Structure formats: structure tokens, C-alpha cells
Structure 1
Amino acid sequence: MLELREVSKSYGGRTVLASLSHRFAAGEFVAIMGESGVGKSTLLNLIAGLDAPDSGDVLVDGQPMSALDDDAATRLRRSRMGFIFQAFHVLPHLTLRQNVALPLLLNNASLARAGEMLAAVGLDGRGDDFPRQLSGGEMQRVAIARALVHRPALVLADEPTGNLDPDTAHSVLELLRAEIKASGASAIMVTHSHAAAAKADKILILSRAGLILSPNGL
């Protein structure tokens, strides 16, 4: 459902990605690792259509992102993608239920699933609480619920456990994998953590040579 075709991107004269091609299988949970500065977060931004490649194309469900205007790209992100960030990006002035319901509101969908997703991530009965009442691990659970509540086809996670202690990170990753598999979504997770990457179905290493399947999983 996702394909990169000869994607290149430079910033300030420095090439970050060069002629990158790869096809991601539907329903697969993929971890992408690589050295700092190699372009992992840039790649996620290109896949999401938040930035445009200098050349080449990103195809989602066979549709080139370059063929979409800003409004169409926004609609695609809202309906087909879910995002999980290292810094959570949970809105402090909204309750947990309101935070999780945001993608449903944007897609004019029933809000009932917000409560169901909070229960699925172990926060049943906490819908009226505010983010200030949560631990880091609980906030990441809210972020996972929000990313999956509208049943996206593609989940993009950028260092989702970078701010968590090892035990909490393990719990959050187990939850993330379980929820992705239950919903049948594809997922791409950028991470520097071998422990996090081990939860994925496949590990790819991003280098100047492109995306390479990691030998022996790590």
C-alpha cells in the first residue's frame, strides 16, 4: 500500500536521501533504524506528505502524493494515516476522550469509538481526566489510541518510546503492536532502539545506500 520510487531529498545543498526505492507490504509492522542524520524523520515526513521530495515519488494506495494538492493531501492524512510522536503531542487543555476523538471529529465519524480505544489501551474510565494527570507511559497510550481510533491504513511512529523508561517502553510497544495487528494497519516506526525495533515484523536499516533489510533481525 506504500511505495517509494527513486525518492531524493536535500537540505541546504546536503543530500539526505538519494534515489530511495522500496515497497512496503500491506499489514506489515516495519522498524527503520540508522545513524543520526541519515534521514529517518525526513523519510516519515515525505511519506506523510508533510514535505515533498526533490525528485521521485511516494505512492499511497497507488496514488502519487505529488499529484495531490494541499487540501487533498490533508484529507488523505486525516482518513488514511495515524501518527505517534516521541513527544506525545497530547493537547493539555483537552480531556483524554477529547484528545482521542480528534481524528473522528476531523473525519465526521461517530465519537463513540474514542471511549472504546481508551479502554483498549488500559485507560477505561479515564476519559474525563486531563493529560497533566498522566505519566509519560499513559500519555503515550493516549497517543496510540488517538493514532488508531479512526482505523487508519498506515501508522507512522517517530521514536515513540524515546521519552519512556525501559519497562514502560516495553509495555507501550507491546500495546502498539497488538493494536496495529488487531486493526490490520500497516505501520512504519523510526527508532534508534534495538529493543523497540525487535517488536516489528521486519527491520530496515536506512543508510546512504538506501533501505537494507537488517540481517538476523538486528
Structure 2
Amino acid sequence: MTTKVLVLYYSSYGHIKTMAEAVAEGAAAAGATVDIKRVPETAPAEVVAAAGFVTDHSHPEAQPADLAEYDAIIVGTPTRYGNPASQMASFWDRTGGLWAQGKLIGKVGGAFTSSATQHGGNEATLLSMHKTLLHHGLVIVGLPYAFAGQMTLDAIAGGSPYGATTIAAGDGSRQPSEVELDGARFQGRHIAEIAGKLSA
């Protein structure tokens, strides 16, 4: 049977959306069937407009019940003071019914993120997201050092053994680099391969 992977993300300015598409590319390269879905925007419309959030969405909104349909769930969220964005947290706050029924136990999970600066809480956000996935019984998979790109010292680059990351700059002007996108692809492929082995 084909492994089914969900890439679930929230993106205010498009950086995490770009990373999500790279994660999905990697998972598809491993032979998985991949869906990309976004969590609902919870900020008021006037805040979205004033802040210039991306509103042209090319991926459908997810519903909590969707999660049970997949073998692996890879979650992408911006960093907010070392925590997932409130939009992502709000989505997972609605998954109590899945938790009560143990619907996600044994699935494979992972996370990826972005922050404005190199030391802006990327790893704390990934670990915080891992806690939520662990409460649901998912098997956590990160970005191993087999992806050597995260060890580069030649340029500013995201990447962490806890998951793929990118750095957006304070004004959002920096887009994910090729090294960071390669890390996202690697993690997507790695998670899909492990999910395939566990569900075989």
C-alpha cells in the first residue's frame, strides 16, 4: 500500500508555505502520496490586512478529522517566541476527539519552522511541536546529520536535528535558501520512508 503523508502548515508571509512544498516534494520522491493542507487563519481580517499576511492560498484548509487518514503528519509553523504560531496551536487544540480515541497513535510525525533570526527560537518551536505530537502518540522523526547541509559554515543556513528550518529576516525579505529547501526535502523523504516501513 502507498504511504500517505500530510504536510500541514501555517504561513503568514509565505516562507513556511515554500518549505512545505519542498517537504512534500521530498516525501513524494520516496513514493508517498502527499497532500499539502493549511490550518485556518484565526487573526481578524483587519489584522491580516494591516500586517500584509498572504491571503492567496493555493492549498486547501485542513480539518482535525483529516489527520486520521494519514500514515505521517509533517507540521510546519513559524516561530512565535519559541512556540508554534497561535493559528497552528489553535488547530491542535481542536484535536481532543482524536486524542481521546487514540486515532494518531503509531503514525510518524515531524516538524519544520522559520524564524526572523538565526537564534530566534527555531529549536524551541520544533521541540514544542514535538510535545503535541508525542501526546497524540506519534513517532517523532527529525532531520538527521545524514543531511550534511545543516552543518555548513560557509553561509547563514537553517537546519536542526529536530527538523528543517529557515531564517526569514526581521522584515521577511530573506527567502528559504537552496540548502534549507534541500533540508526540507530530505526530512520529507526521510519521514515518508520511515512511515512506509512502519506501515508495511
TM-score band, normalised by shorter chain? 0.3 to 0.5
Q: Select the structure of larger CA radius of gyration.
A: 1
Q: Normalised by the size of structure 1, how large is the TM-score?
A: 0.32
Which protein has the bigger strand share? Answer: 1
- TM-score when scaled to structure 2? 0.34
